[in-house]
Amino acid sequence: MSVLVVAEHVRGELRPVTLELISAAKSLGGPVEVAVIAKEPSAFTDAVNVEGVDEILAVSVDQDEFENDVHQSVVEQLISERSPRVVLLGFTVNAMGYGPALAARLGTGFASDVIAVREEGGELVAERSFYGAKVNGEVDFPGHDRVVLLLRPTTWPPAEGAGSATVTAASVAARASRARHQGWVEVQAGDVDITTADFLLSVGRGIGDKENLEQFQELADAMGATLSSSRPLVDAGWMPTARQVGQSGKTVKPKVYLALGISGAVQHLAGMKTSGTIIAVNTDPEAAIFNVAHYGAVADLFEVAEELEKLY
């Protein structure tokens, strides 16, 4: 199946989701085209020239940063010129801004937050979650010869290996726009980006009390980990929103995810189950977190924390 991937970049950096989209595109057989829409597309063409990419469409636009309307109009024109069977975007804030509008305008099939995709008898089948991630279901697109999919980040491995794609300068006139990027607001001091941490120590309601948080912050510091949490701690105002892992929080994929007193609700698992090594501590042997954990201890988290404190 011919696939058009739209590269994502922010502040001059290619977003990792782009290489994940390319992996998914390759699995559909190809040919794979990657659109790089940027003021200076050449800044990203080497990074997306990985194995399996057949052609890179370098589209130069006036805007320094991502703009919904610019992306929508450029991708719309690329689709009409290139006629891909499938268009892959990240399930990201940027692509959520224009992907659904693009699909509606072109009357294509559409699915968001897709976690698996395959070709079956010449038709596309996508898998996504429903009912707050309680159920996974398959979606097909009868009557649609083109489908736009938003793929969940960190679900596919990043594509790698040197590629030999041709780079084509695509001349596409972007539609004039209304909203404009004004600037970046830096994360407030004290907040961290848990999505880039290699080691997350994540605490849940099992820690019992707000007063106990300090102990785990100190433990995380001593272990070289970043402290994150499940949602109830954020809802209670104990932890900042930026530290919440899960469906309505951040999707993380650290090398190590140490979960203390987290039950493993589907909404939590949705944000961390692809972590490299998951270690869970819970007094309840039936806790769902053990279904995704590589290592688990049915134990009191405070006792485990005490032992860890002795080690660090």
Contacts with ligand FAD, residue ranges (CB under 6 A): 132, 204-206, 230-232, 244-249, 261-263, 265, 267-268, 271, 281-284, 287, 300-302
Q: How far apart are CA 211 and CA 229, in angstroms?
A: 15
**Shortest spacing between CB 199 and ligand FAD, in angstroms:** 18
Q: In the chain, how long is the greatest CA-to-CA distance?
A: 64
Alpha helices (runs of H) in the chain, residue ranges in sequence order: 17-27, 42-48, 68-82, 93-106, 213-223, 231-235, 266-269, 289-292, 301-311
Residue number, 71 or 253, with CB nearest to ligand FAD: 253
Q: How far apart are CA 165 and CA 7, in angstroms?
A: 15
**Shortest spacing between CB 292 and ligand FAD, in angstroms:** 13
**Shortest spacing between CB 67 and ligand FAD, in angstroms:** 28
**Shortest spacing between CB 205 and ligand FAD, in angstroms:** 3
Distance of CA 14 to the CA centre of its chain: 13
Residue number, 104 or 236, with CB nearest to ligand FAD: 236
Residue number, 38 or 272, with CB nearest to ligand FAD: 272
Residue number, 71 or 268, with CB nearest to ligand FAD: 268
Any idea what the Cα angle at residue 141 is, between residues 135 and 146, rounded to 5°? 130
Residue nearest to ligand FAD (CB): 246
Whether 127 and 105 have beta carbons less than 8 Å apart is answered as no
Residue number, 103 or 234, with CB nearest to ligand FAD: 234
**Shortest spacing between CB 20 and ligand FAD, in angstroms:** 21
Exposure b/e, 67-90, CB count within 10 A at least 16 = b: bbbbbbbbbbbbbeebebbbbbbb
